[in-house]
Chain A
Amino acid sequence: MDVKEAALDISHWDGTLSLNDFSIAASAFSEKWKRFNPGVPPWSWVPCPKQHLVSSHRVEGYLQLENFCCVKSSEKELVEVTLTQKAESGRSNKEECFDYATLVCSEQPHEVIHYDFHIVYSASYRVPVLYFRAYHTDGQPLLFNDIEKDLPGNSAKLPSESKWTFITQEEHPYLNRPWYKLHPCGTGEWMKLLFLGDPLLTVKGQLIERYLVSWFSVVGQVVGLKLPLGMLDSIVSTYSCTNDEKNGNTEK
């Protein structure tokens, strides 16, 4: 079933993806990530992790980015700010901002926090969901309160109910272990808003390829992960250029 060339009427799209679309979106996202973040670990695809349940769904799996290191900020300082400043004092190359591994080695007094991120498809909400866990170098997991403290400004100022509704601790659907999860019930809606009115989006394949980059540009910020601007810019330039050339897809 080739949906890539299907014409798209964005006003009738509900902001969700099918499982098959998700796996296409995932590979587009991890490719782009590799290209724009050469200094950080890549996202890798973990296929069919549950035996005898999902083996029938061949495209089922999730994206993982493991052992992503962050320097823990002091009190109210934002993680990302700390990182950016350190990077600037070091080298000025744009990409260095995202080379956390280098930063970690040079900064002994600050504690290093390790993050694992998984992007898992939710069959219920038909959207990607970010699962994550954080632990100290000795393997001890961070408590929710500590994680909350490290969240960037906007997401830390949350109503007290957020503990139950926004970032929740839930079981990882494939690993059967407690992970943190950003609740996906609004994702479809804001993804639609994000893409609405984009004149370049005329074919469903484009939407699918751009879906996770756009999604992550929002979701990543909640946990203090910023996409390099280039990753977002590239989509626009690639597609405007693609449109000019009337040439299906230059992204291979």
Chain B
Amino acid sequence: MQEMTEAQKYVWEGAIPLQIHLHESEVTTVPPPPPAPILAPRIGYLPLLVSLVKPHFSSALPPGVDTVWFEYKGLPLKWYIPTGVLFDLLCMEPERPWNLTVHFRGYPSNILLPCEGEDSVKWSFINSLKEASYIINGNCKNVMNMSQPDQVELWHSVLNSGNLESYQRVSSKLKLGSFEDEYMGNINSSPEKSQQNTGETDAPAQVKIGRIPVRLYVWTVSKDFDDLEDAPQIDSWDKVSYINRPVEIHKEEGKYFSLHDVVKQLLPEFFFGSNFTNDGDATSKRSAEEEENSTKLSCKAEIAEIKLVRIQGIEPKLQIPFSWLVHNLMNPEHFLHICVCLKVSEVSTT
């Protein structure tokens, strides 16, 4: 079992102070109930807070069946996105405490997946873990064959977030830690042993040593801003693109694989010339190596620029070894959640 790092502890103990207000339409008392102050674990999920939120408002609620959901400035919050990621994504300039609104009625089932409490969250977590396992090992066997006690322990370590030790004990049995931390200087490790290859042909001089589960969230702004406080609000999920995208790790002699390499792989059009306006093959983008260091792109009448890359509340430099990020900042379901803000503006052609 690997020793836990300082950064891992920070992630596991990380919490966001929330101030939860009852939506005015559901207030039945005068004066309305005061907001509930709650510390929400970064790696946790909003429905897991219901047992804390509900007693606070129970006296003010109208009678009936409860379907609890949360909202931030009118945007219903997706419950299966870790709370820390929601905060990183929706609160460009971190707001503390984070003012959320809770609803006990009128579940927006056209936008949000149905949530039947802890069970829904647990299975969403396990399905993500299975997906991560498939990405890393090419199968889900270790997750599927997890013993019942291990499954319970794993889930409880996330539920009572902070129990990193017990998490690591169970998680290490899943054998998902194939990607060595290059930053830690594991010089003795050979890349071959870490990953079984799926039989794809490798690019010359580069060795594909594995796939890493990444969930990418991209939101776009149209106006520039210098201060994060002036960043426009995300008022609709249609303005955010999020997708699970495995990152393929390539290793080159004498070089480490950086966050820069990852963003380049996930969003190549912001590094290379526009290749989707002509009929060029998708691989032709690799020809424009000289543009590698530019994060600007002109495409048709648009210029897109990467404003911000945020992971677990920090904005890492693009030169940082990706292995360090994966090792230290991934969520317990083995996905690294990367939030990217793009500024897209019209080109003023001369």
Contacts and interface: CB of A to CB of B under 8 A. Distances in A.
A184 B342 CA distance: 32
A171 B78 contact: yes
B213 interface: yes
Interface in A123-149: 123-125, 141, 144
Interface residues of A, number: 35
B218 interface: yes
Contacts of B114: 144, 169, 178
A140 to B, nearest CB: 11
Given A14-B199, A165-B123, A55 B269 contact: yes
Interface stretch (A56-64, A107-115, A237-245): A56-64
A125 to B, nearest CB: 6
Contacts of B276: 55-56, 58
A168 interface: yes
A43 B247 CA distance: 30
Interface in B91-140: 109-114, 119, 123, 126-127, 130-131, 134-135, 138-140
Nearest to B119: A164
A20 B281 CA distance: 11
Given A56-B285, A178-B114, A168 B238 contact: no
B283 A1 contact: yes
B294 to A, nearest CB: 16
Contacts of A185: 130-131, 134, 140, 144
A124 B244 contact: yes
Nearest to B304: A52
B158 interface: no
B198 interface: yes
A177 interface: yes
B131 A125 contact: yes
A169 B123 CA distance: 11
Contacts of A56: 267-269, 275-276, 282, 285
A54 B285 contact: no
Interface centre among B213, B246, B285 (most CB of A within 10 A): B246
Contacts of A59: 282
Interface in A37-55: 50-55
A12 to B, nearest CB: 6
Contacts of B113: 169-171, 178
Interface in B275-307: 275-276, 281-283, 285, 304
Contact of A12 (B199, B243, B269, B304): B199
A173 interface: yes
Which one of B109, B269, B285 has the greatest number of beta carbons of chain A within 10 Å?
B269
On chain B, which size bracket covers the interface?
A: 35 or more
B282 to A, nearest CB: 6
B55 to A, nearest CB: 28
Nearest to A161: B123
Nearest to A181: B127
A176 interface: yes
A125 B119 CA distance: 24
A177 B123 contact: no
Interface string B198-212: 110000000000000
Contacts of A123: 243-246
A112 to B, nearest CB: 21
A219 to B, nearest CB: 18
Q: Which of A122, A164, A183, A189 is most buried by chain B, counting CB atoms within 10 A of its CB?
A: A164
Contacts of A177: 110-111
B216 interface: yes
A52 B109 contact: no
B344 interface: yes
A58 B276 CA distance: 7
Nearest to B132: A124
Query: Which of B119, B276, B304 counts the most chain A CB atoms within 10 A?
Result: B276
A52 B342 CA distance: 8
B134 A124 contact: yes
A233 B216 CA distance: 42
A16 B134 CA distance: 12
A12 B198 CA distance: 9
A185 B110 CA distance: 26
B282 A58 contact: yes
B344 to A, nearest CB: 7
Contacts of B237: 176
A143 to B, nearest CB: 9
A51 B198 contact: no
Nearest to B144: A185
Contact of B344 (A52, A122, A144, A171): A52
Contacts of A141: 109
B124 to A, nearest CB: 8
28 contacts: A1-B281, A14-B138, A20-B282, A50-B241, A50-B243, A51-B220, A51-B241, A52-B241, A52-B304, A54-B241, A55-B276, A56-B275, A57-B282, A58-B275, A122-B244, A123-B243, A123-B245, A144-B114, A164-B123, A165-B123, A171-B78, A171-B80, A176-B237, A176-B238, A176-B240, A178-B109, A178-B111, A183-B127
Given A16-B198, A56-B269, 15 more contacts: A1-B281, A52-B218, A52-B304, A53-B241, A53-B267, A54-B241, A56-B275, A58-B282, A124-B131, A144-B114, A164-B119, A177-B110, A178-B109, A183-B127, A185-B131
Ranked nearest first, the 8 interchain pairs of A and B with the lowest CB-CB distance are: A164-B123, A53-B241, A56-B269, A50-B241, A56-B268, A178-B113, A185-B140, A124-B131
